[in-house]
A and B are shown apart, each in its own frame.
Chain A
Amino acid sequence: MTTINDQIYIDKTLKGDTNAFAFLVEQYKVMVYSLALKMMKNREEAEEVSQDTFIKAYKKLDKFKGESKFSTWLYKITYRNCLDAIKKNKEKYNNDTIDEITINKISGTESILESLERKERAVVMNTCLLKLPEEERSILWMFYFEELSLKEIIKVTDLSEANVKVKLHRARKRLLTIVKRDVEPELINHYGRK
């Protein structure tokens, strides 16, 4: 399942060539750090968790049997590490309550977002994404940004298929709710004043 290139470097590392592991770190550092950052919401903590992820992966490398992609295996360690770190500082990670509202028309929200520049829109969407509970935002990130399949997300999170599907659907709805609640009024106000 894992790519041939990855397997070459994994084998080299297992044979004692620690520098071969540096290649794997370089290859996957952005992917691991991005997920950690989405979950931790803080650069320093995300970096710490990401480094810990790679060190754990190195120590457990002999247990990686190649049944899944190396990236999925790394994701699983990152996800677990982040959840553990969040559990330790529970008060810090209190999510705001999002009341799901029934939104029938997405087009209105879309046209408002389209009025923004691409870069600006990316920042706005990132802020909205970070307002979701950590499990939901990480699932959204893995599914849409990293393009992981449902099967891979199930492996990473250890949740059932039905549970992942429910969380994914709820997360999408909540994301739209947050955009409607926080971004729309601000933008309407801003452009209204102009």
Chain B
Amino acid sequence: MGENKHIEELDAFAKKYINEIESESPSIDFTKNIMDSIQEFEKSEIYKADPLISKKTWSLLIGTLVVSILYVAKGKSIGSIGFSKINLDVFSKIKIPNLFESISVSNIMLYACFFFTVLIFAQIYFLKKRFETNIKS
């Protein structure tokens, strides 16, 4: 009984005096700062580059590759998969004329083409990075 009365008194004490404490307000720019951050977040969401091959497609490709490797590793020949039933003779009947027969390319030209391709890929990577940082700032 005495304990209950003491709890009640404590409750009344806390209620009375904590309620008297005044709540404080944040700075004047509070809402503006939040909305600015939200606008920035929204902008970055718009310009977020989506990968050409999604994670789902990647996992499907890797899965197919792993399954094929395991299948072959188990010793089953490709013939047993059922390819033998497909008539592939059609392909041997198709004759495509070699259009590049008369064109001869020097080794230097081949190297130049190779490095040109590498540089283009490198540029894509750097340009993408630069594009992203410019949007963020």
Q: Which residues of A contact B (CB under 8 A)?
A: 18-19, 21-22, 25-26, 29-31, 33-34, 37, 43, 46-47, 50-51, 54-55, 58-59, 104, 106, 109-110, 113, 118, 121-122, 125-126, 129, 140-141, 144-145, 169, 171-173, 175-176
A147 and chain B: residue at smallest CB distance: B19
CA A1 to CA B93, docked complex, whole Å:
73
Q: Which residues of B contact A (CB under 8 A)?
A: 6-7, 9-11, 13-15, 17-27, 30-31, 33-35, 37-39, 41-42
A57 and chain B: residue at smallest CB distance: B34
Question: Are A172 and B14 in contact, with the CB atoms below 8 A?
Answer: yes
Question: Are A58 and B38 in contact, with the CB atoms below 8 A?
Answer: yes
Task: Tell me how far the C-beta of A189 lies from the nearest C-beta in chain B, rounded to whole angstroms.
Answer: 21
Which B residues are in CB contact (< 8 Å) with A122?
A: 20-22
Given A37-B24, A50-B26, decide whether A125 and B34 contact each other with a Cβ distance below 8 A.
Answer: no
Instruction: Choose one: B9, B19, B24; the contact of A106 (CB below 8 Å).
Output: B9
Question: Are B21 and A129 in contact, with the CB atoms below 8 A?
Answer: yes
Additional A-B contacts beyond A18-B35, A30-B23, A169-B7 (9; CB < 8 A)? A33-B24, A43-B24, A58-B34, A113-B17, A121-B20, A144-B15, A144-B18, A145-B19, A172-B10
Task: Tell me how far the C-beta of A59 lies from the nearest C-beta in chain B, rounded to whole angstroms.
Answer: 7
Question: Are B25 and A140 in contact, with the CB atoms below 8 A?
Answer: no
Which B residues are in CB contact (< 8 Å) with A31?
A: 23
Question: Are A25 and B31 in contact, with the CB atoms below 8 A?
Answer: yes
Instruction: Choose one: A21, A25, A50, A175; the contact of B14 (CB below 8 Å).
Output: A175
Which A residues are in CB contact (< 8 Å) with B27?
A: 47
Which B residues are in CB contact (< 8 Å) with A21?
A: 35, 38
A113 and chain B: residue at smallest CB distance: B17
CA A37 to CA B63, docked complex, whole Å:
52
Instruction: Choose one: A18, A19, A176; the contact of B10 (CB below 8 Å).
Output: A176
Which A residues are in CB contact (< 8 Å) with B33?
A: 51
Cβ-closest 3 pairs across A and B: A144-B18, A34-B23, A33-B26
CA A25 to CA B10, docked complex, whole Å:
35
B31 and chain A: residue at smallest CB distance: A25
- Ordered by A's residue number, 25 sampled pairs between the chains whose C-beta atoms are within 8 Å are A25-B34, A25-B35, A26-B31, A29-B26, A30-B26, A37-B24, A43-B24, A46-B26, A47-B27, A47-B30, A50-B26, A50-B30, A113-B17, A121-B17, A121-B20, A125-B17, A126-B21, A129-B18, A144-B15, A169-B7, A171-B14, A172-B10, A172-B11, A172-B14, A173-B10
B45 and chain A: residue at smallest CB distance: A59
Which B residues are in CB contact (< 8 Å) with A18?
A: 35, 38-39, 42
Which A residues are in CB contact (< 8 Å) with B20?
A: 118, 121-122, 125
Task: Tell me how far the C-beta of A70 lies from the nearest C-beta in chain B, rounded to whole angstroms.
Answer: 16
Which A residues are in CB contact (< 8 Å) with B11?
A: 172
Question: Are B6 and A176 in contact, with the CB atoms below 8 A?
Answer: no
